[in-house]
Chains A and B, each alone.
Chain A
């Protein structure tokens, strides 16, 4: 009775379509295990073999991989949210309500928000793990530096996304955060040393051109800030993060793969 099923399986496995997609087939020999890693654009981030000590979950906690996975979840849910969200003062909040009340599979906003918080925690956890195993030591020093940049980018991504719901929680959290920019030494209108930057008595740094203005796009949080944070959140920061991630992953391989005792 199983014969027809077996034949079907065999036919599918040996069909031209399957073979054209999965060149290697089921990796049941060592040769195929090498070929699948080399031939697949996603898998070839990895080498074909790794140190046995590095595979253990209690060594890596999978924290770096999961940080990347959460970034992918955030990209996917973020793109879905972009279909329904307009970054203007008139629509942002009502679109939020619509996303919650009207959109099918209405947990995308939840997924996006919780995954964002989880990513912040996961990236910090990854940094903690790398520190505790001393993996920042030579030859991996520079990759740690890239990792710190990625940590900062994670904070910035989360921070810019915080404004987009345009509710009380959002604008006041961003108000508290962006008020700090006003206090930047020399470059913030309220910061120490800003009066020193002047030409012939005309101040160069004032509330409509200082660091806070650069961040907000205006003197107070408003429509232009929403647009600015939206572009930063959806386009610029993810692009920058992707570039740094690419370098980060590349450097793991080039610096000798997953760390381990000499």
Chain B
């Protein structure tokens, strides 16, 4: 089944590459909606595959990444976009994180296999023994420091630190980008308003990271690499870390050009590229696209009123009532998602989870899961039905 599917995908890819040209196909596949989906599927699938995390599997994958990057760099547009002066850390990040993902998953699957054979995890073999810090640990640290000193000196000699034109507040570069590690958050600005993408979501990420030890009550997997015993925890963290945080950094660095528009890896960054933005709010879908035609057909004037107008004065209770009417579906959906869904899940699918965590921990955990999930949900709503806001008001939009 899987093999047939992969063969079909490969055949499709090759025929498309022959017909449209490989670069055009890759430019097409790089679009956020496609590359995000593909990366998420492949990444999650791969985490479960033991052969991927063997030496051979990873050697192939790492060589694959290196070769692909190397060949792609032959293209002058890609080289121009990737080799910007401050993009050096992106290389380091891609290679480092893929390498160490292997190091951890290889040991995790190895330990899983040992535990299936009723053996303790590999770390256990030596964890009851003690080693002298001098010389064993001190020397390892010393060698690591020397290696990193050399790396930094060579890196500094080879690549000069970027220094552009003097600061000029009158001349806005296009695109203006935040430092590379915040580009994932800048990417979220496409889908969320600044108060969410720039303030609330980062705060929840920090709070959520701090909450991890208190909501992960699974006693297994403490002090050794493992996957099978803590799949939910590792999947959640890795999806957050690799599929969302890191992928969006790479996307924001390489594939977002002038106007924060998408540019394929081989496309030239054309500042005049025009992308039609005809995103609609949920209330417009409700009142104009759905209720209006119904009212027309049944000849009910009340349904044909269009989107109710809400005035900006929040001191006037009439505006709140109008808002309630205008955004009833958005309010219902968000209320269901954040308030009702956790209760339903606690009684049905996540019953065991709820009982293990207790009310307080469960409330925090499910809130964090739902916030984490709303990010891709909103991304897909934008990609499929061009949704702008689920809830739009004169004061706050979501």
Q: In the bound complex, what is the Cα–Cα distance between A1 and B213 (angstroms)?
A: 64
Q: Is the CB of A195 within 8 A of B195?
A: no
Q: In the bound complex, what is the Cα–Cα distance between A171 and B216 (angstroms)?
A: 41
Q: Is the CB of A159 within 8 A of B179?
A: yes
Q: Is the CB of A53 within 8 A of B194?
A: no
Q: Which of B88, B124, B225 contacts A133 (CB 8 A)?
A: B225
- Bits for B220-240, please: 1 = Cβ < 8 Å to A, else 0: 111111100010011001000
Q: In the bound complex, what is the Cα–Cα distance between A128 and B100 (angstroms)?
A: 9
Main SS class of interface, A: helix
* Minimum distance in angstroms from B241 CB to a CB of chain A: 6
| A244 interface contact, C-beta 8 A | no
Q: Which of A140, A168, A259 contacts B165 (CB 8 A)?
A: A168
| A182 interface contact, C-beta 8 A | yes
Considering only CB atoms, which chain A residue lies closest to B122 in the complex? A53
Q: Which of B131, B135, B148, B167 contacts A51 (CB 8 A)?
A: B131
Q: Which 5 A-B pairs rank lowest in CB-CB distance, beginning with the nearest?
A: A180-B198, A110-B156, A183-B194, A141-B213, A192-B396
Q: Is the CB of A110 within 8 A of B159?
A: yes
Q: In the bound complex, what is the Cα–Cα distance between A134 and B123 (angstroms)?
A: 13
Considering only residues 62-85 of chain A, those with a C-beta below 8 Å from chain B are 62, 65-66, 69-70, 73
Q: Can you give 5 contacting A-B residue pairs, CB < 8 Å? A: A115-B152, A133-B225, A134-B226, A180-B199, A195-B314
Q: Is the CB of A176 within 8 A of B177?
A: yes
Q: Is the CB of B181 within 8 A of A51?
A: no
* Minimum distance in angstroms from A31 CB to a CB of chain B: 12
Q: How many residues of A contact B (CB 8 A)?
A: 101
| A250 interface contact, C-beta 8 A | no
Q: In the bound complex, what is the Cα–Cα distance between A181 and B156 (angstroms)?
A: 33
| B284 interface contact, C-beta 8 A | no
- Bits for A157-176, please: 1 = Cβ < 8 Å to B, else 0: 01100100111111111011
| A203 interface contact, C-beta 8 A | no
| B27 interface contact, C-beta 8 A | no
Q: Is the CB of B166 within 8 A of A93?
A: yes
Q: Which of A109, A134, A220 contacts B223 (CB 8 A)?
A: A134
Q: Which of B96, B132, B160, B206 contacts A121 (CB 8 A)?
A: B96
Residues of A within 8 A of B169 (CB): 171, 220-221
| B107 interface contact, C-beta 8 A | yes
- Known contacts A49-B133, A167-B166, A175-B176: A114-B159 contact under CB 8 Å: yes
Considering only CB atoms, which chain A residue lies closest to B221 in the complex? A134
- Known contacts A167-B167, A261-B124: A129-B100 contact under CB 8 Å: yes
| B1 interface contact, C-beta 8 A | no
- Known contacts A58-B103, A111-B153: A144-B213 contact under CB 8 Å: yes
| A8 interface contact, C-beta 8 A | no
Considering only CB atoms, which chain A residue lies closest to B194 in the complex? A183
Residues of A within 8 A of B85 (CB): 169
Residues of B within 8 A of A196 (CB): 314
Q: Is the CB of B222 within 8 A of A261?
A: yes
Considering only CB atoms, which chain B residue lies closest to A112 in the complex? B161
| B141 interface contact, C-beta 8 A | yes
* Minimum distance in angstroms from A60 CB to a CB of chain B: 9
Residues of B within 8 A of A47 (CB): 133
Q: Is the CB of B88 within 8 A of A114?
A: yes
| A120 interface contact, C-beta 8 A | yes
* Minimum distance in angstroms from B338 CB to a CB of chain A: 16
| B193 interface contact, C-beta 8 A | yes
Q: Is the CB of B212 within 8 A of A136?
A: yes
| B257 interface contact, C-beta 8 A | no
Residues of B within 8 A of A69 (CB): 144-145, 148
| A191 interface contact, C-beta 8 A | yes
Q: In the bound complex, what is the Cα–Cα distance between A47 and B134 (angstroms)?
A: 10
Q: Which of A54, A141, A168, A220 contacts B168 (CB 8 A)?
A: A168
Q: Is the CB of B186 within 8 A of A167?
A: no
| B172 interface contact, C-beta 8 A | yes
| A231 interface contact, C-beta 8 A | no
| A236 interface contact, C-beta 8 A | no
| A228 interface contact, C-beta 8 A | no
Residues of A within 8 A of B121 (CB): 261
Considering only residues 10-48 of chain A, those with a C-beta below 8 Å from chain B are 27, 30, 33, 36-37, 43, 46-48
Q: Is the CB of A259 within 8 A of B223?
A: yes
Considering only CB atoms, which chain A residue lies closest to B145 in the complex? A69
- Known contacts A69-B145, A131-B237, A168-B167: A52-B126 contact under CB 8 Å: yes
Residues of B within 8 A of A190 (CB): 194
* Minimum distance in angstroms from B398 CB to a CB of chain A: 9
Q: Which of A59, A134, A182 contacts B230 (CB 8 A)?
A: A134
Considering only residues 232-262 of chain A, those with a C-beta below 8 Å from chain B are 259-262
Q: Is the CB of B130 within 8 A of A52?
A: yes
| B348 interface contact, C-beta 8 A | no
Considering only CB atoms, which chain A residue lies closest to B181 in the complex? A120
